Structure 1
């Protein structure tokens, strides 16, 4: 990040983005140290597998 002139995202920035995109959960991790990575991927998989299916509004159409 430093070489690109960037800084890590702060917790406040992360929480604000999670709120903006209506994220199901906010977790922090480090790709450099791998801290929190297992939890992040575990929660992502859990979120996909356990998400609520919205009822489909199927209507009968006769032609």
Structure 2
């Protein structure tokens, strides 16, 4: 993450990572049999504000042509 990033809620500059998985998995639209991807959240360690979320497996969202 950007080292100059500040939390918009509290101004904190330290962040941790957490993972949403299981039933909270992100699934591609139109791909019925996809197992989905876990979601990585970047969290302010001072107030808990989620700064950024990203798919753990972004390649599953590519269209196969």
TM-score range (shorter-chain normalised) is: under 0.3
Structure having the higher helix fraction is: 1
Normalised by the size of structure 2, how large is the TM-score? 0.27
Structure having the higher strand fraction is: 2
Which structure has more relative contact order (CA 8 Å, sep 6+)? It is: 2
Larger radius of gyration, structure 1 or 2? 1
Normalised by the size of structure 1, how large is the TM-score? 0.27
